[in-house]
Chain A
Amino acid sequence: MKKILVSLALMSSAAAHSAQLDVQITNLTRGSWFTPFIVAAHVPDMNVFSSGSPASASLQAMAEGGDISGLSADLTAINATLSENPAGGLLMPGASTTASLNTDGAPDNTVLSIVAMLLPSNDGFMGLNAISIPTEAGSYSYNVSAYDAGTEANDEILGSGAPGEPGYPAPPPIAAASGEGGTGVSAAAEGFVHIHRNVLGDSDLVGGSSDIDSTVHRWLNPVVRVVVTVSE
């Protein structure tokens, strides 16, 4: 928090810029869902996550169980402009949703971040990380990669979405697409956020090591496309 306050004080007022944004989010994957998105315009010197650094508790709760309440509180505390859960639940493969943000009341919120958990995975998430919001009217496209929060072992079996508990949560569509009875992939939490190395999965729906289907749930980046439309 101290760092954030210092950076606010140093920020040039020339960088401030208010905007009306429509943020279209498309799930590009073949067989992965996203839990509720949190879409935030915020000050530039704050990051929801940083590659190579440990995840915050709030990021962990989002990445392991799709719970964005902690991130919402953190971002609200720095006067971020938020849209929460624009899809109204899970965003299925191939589907799109749009969030609207208006930073007229908060012109220092000049960067955009979006995160949501990727299912099925233990602690995978999509992350658009503090991109500069364009100041000229127009539409801008961003390809977004999948990250691993590094907080949970990727055992790839049905389990819990609570932080620190093993396994991945399985709301109905994910349960229907998953196998069961896997013995668990041998893995350990990595300890830092990094680009996800993908799930392994297997082809055994009633056993094997993983409850994830290798021919359906693997992905190659990008996993999400974000189109930001800036209005005058």
Chain B
Amino acid sequence: MSKLLSNKLAAASIIFAASVLSACSDNNNNSNAQARDPVTPVAPPEPVTLEYEVSVSNLTAGQPVSPVAVFVHDSTQDKVFNIGSAASPALEILAEGGDNSMLLTDYESIAKASGDSPIGPGSSATLTLQVPVEVSAGLAFTLVTMLVNTNDAFSAVNGVDIASIEPGQSISWSTPSYDSGTEANLELAGTIPGPADGGEGFNAVRDDVNDQVTMHGGVVTSADGLATSVLGEQHRWDNPVLRVTINRVR
């Protein structure tokens, strides 16, 4: 609360100083200007920025996840996806091929970042987000990443309110796996982009049973009766697949 108050006071004093300066400037040609009280020069204000640290742990046995896309955005805007609705092209491209570039371009946000590499099973990564706003009111957080040894599985934190996190506080989520509904889960050689196959990533054809995002049912694998699967038993998982923590640094 004291932080909020001091931010507001700082903002108020900046506005006040600016109006004094502009009055002064209006009077530049006034010979009486020199008689006015001297105005203390005001340095340009430091941009007010919130800072969040995001850490992601991959909880699976054999599913590397693609470089994460993370966003801090307005909590009232559309989420990246909704259960029961068709995936956007940007989400399809991420969920089928691990390519987060279109989502990072398309999705409206106040701050965003990409992980610089995939996160392997048992590994973690940390990103920092500078959010150029004065207060956290109205902010939401989104993170999306593909389970790369699958046809179109992804995990996400989907537009969750982070307004109440004060500096030094954090929130954690255990995230499940979703299916983008854009590619049949046939697990065939040549259809999975991760190291288990090295096959195709994004393909614009939508051939899943329903063209909609749902929870994922997991992979079957050749070890469990799907003889044509390129996946092995180590590629199976259960929910949750990620542990995500967002910590407000300031």
Contact = CB atoms under 8 A, between A and B. Distances in A.
B218 A215 contact: no
B28 interface: no
Contacts, number: 80
Interface SS of B by simple majority = loop
A26 B84 CA distance: 9
Interface of B: 83-85, 176-177, 179, 181, 184-187, 209-210, 212-218, 220, 224-228, 238-239
A95 B84 contact: yes
B239 A220 contact: yes
Contacts of A203: 220, 225-228
Contacts of B220: 201, 203, 214-215, 218
A172 B101 CA distance: 42
B171 to A, nearest CB: 15
Given A28-B83, A215-B185, A215-B226, A220 B209 contact: no
Nearest to B85: A94
A8 to B, nearest CB: 38
Interface in A200-219: 200-203, 214-219
23 contacts: A26-B83, A26-B84, A28-B83, A30-B216, A31-B209, A94-B210, A96-B84, A203-B227, A214-B225, A215-B184, A215-B185, A215-B186, A215-B220, A216-B209, A216-B217, A217-B217, A218-B220, A219-B218, A220-B177, A220-B215, A220-B217, A220-B218, A220-B238
A94 B217 contact: no
Interface of A: 26-31, 93-96, 177, 198, 200-203, 214-223, 225
B143 to A, nearest CB: 18
Given A215-B186, A220-B239, A29 B214 contact: yes
B217 A30 contact: yes
Given A203-B220, A216-B209, 15 more contacts: A30-B179, A31-B209, A93-B84, A93-B210, A94-B83, A94-B84, A94-B210, A198-B218, A203-B225, A214-B220, A215-B185, A215-B226, A218-B218, A219-B217, A220-B217
A28 B228 contact: no
Given A202-B225, A215-B185, A220-B218, A94 B176 contact: no
Contact of B226 (A27, A214, A220): A214
B214 A94 contact: yes
A93 B208 CA distance: 13
A215 B208 CA distance: 10
B225 A200 contact: yes
A220 B83 CA distance: 15
B240 to A, nearest CB: 10
A93 B210 CA distance: 8
Contact of A28 (B214, B218, B224, B238): B214
A95 B220 CA distance: 24
